[in-house]
Amino acid sequence: MSIKVDLAGLGAAMAEHDFAYLLSPGRERPHVVAVVPRLVDGTLVVDAPGRSATELAAEHPAVTLVFPPRQAGGYTLIVDGDASVPSTEPARDGGGGASGLSVRPGHAVLHRPATPTSEPSPTGCGSDCRPLDVPGEAAGLDVPD
């Protein structure tokens, strides 16, 4: 069953998770780093994601944040978006330049494997998916298989 909510629902969904994995397209393979994003005025802010993640965001802005569930059987929150490196943000280590990322969410879904008692998803996804509406999301529904 799919239940759509507005962007305010993204903050509530994030509050049910402790951290996320930031997945960036890498030069030779995907780059993954654990982060603790904050939702600020509709943008996900990632403080100090590391040099590689920051450099990759400048080259390939399409990223995914994967928030694993706290407990087995819980929903994983998956947020796709476009990352940017704020040019005006001072580095948190006292040096010059930016040290964080801003991610503008484009699509978000709560996802978990289906069980024998799960109701069929109206989206056709073979798993238990609950999409979240975010501004700018296309009318079509893209859910992971």
Q: What is the CATH number of the domain that holds 92?
A: 2.30.110.10
What is the span of the domain harbouring residue 54? 8-132
The confidence score (pLDDT) of residue 73 equals 83
Model's pTM, two decimal places? 0.77
Residue 71: C-alpha distances to residues 6, 17, 74 (Å): 25, 10, 6
Average pLDDT, the chain: 79
Instruction: Judge whether 2 lies within some domain.
Output: no
Mean pLDDT in order along the chain per 10 residues (145 residues): 53 95 92 96 93 91 96 89 77 54 91 75 68 52 37
Question: For 17, what's the count of Cα atoms within 13 Å in the CB-facing half-sphere?
Answer: 27
The confidence score (pLDDT) of residue 70 equals 95
The confidence score (pLDDT) of residue 74 equals 86
Instruction: Judge whether 82 lies within some domain.
Output: yes
Instruction: Judge whether 3 lies within some domain.
Output: no
Predicted confidence (pLDDT) per residue in 112-140, tens digit:
877 777 776 666 666 776 777 665 443 33
Instruction: Judge whether 1 lies within some domain.
Output: no
Rounded-to-integer distance, Cα 126 and Cα 92, Å: 43
Instruction: Judge whether 138 lies within some domain.
Output: no
Instruction: Judge whether 142 lies within some domain.
Output: no
Rounded-to-integer distance, Cα 45 and Cα 27, Å: 23
Q: Which of 126, 116, 123, 119 is closest to 139 using CA atoms? A: 123
Instruction: Judge whether 113 lies within some domain.
Output: yes
Instruction: Judge whether 35 lies within some domain.
Output: yes
Say how many domains are in the chain: 1
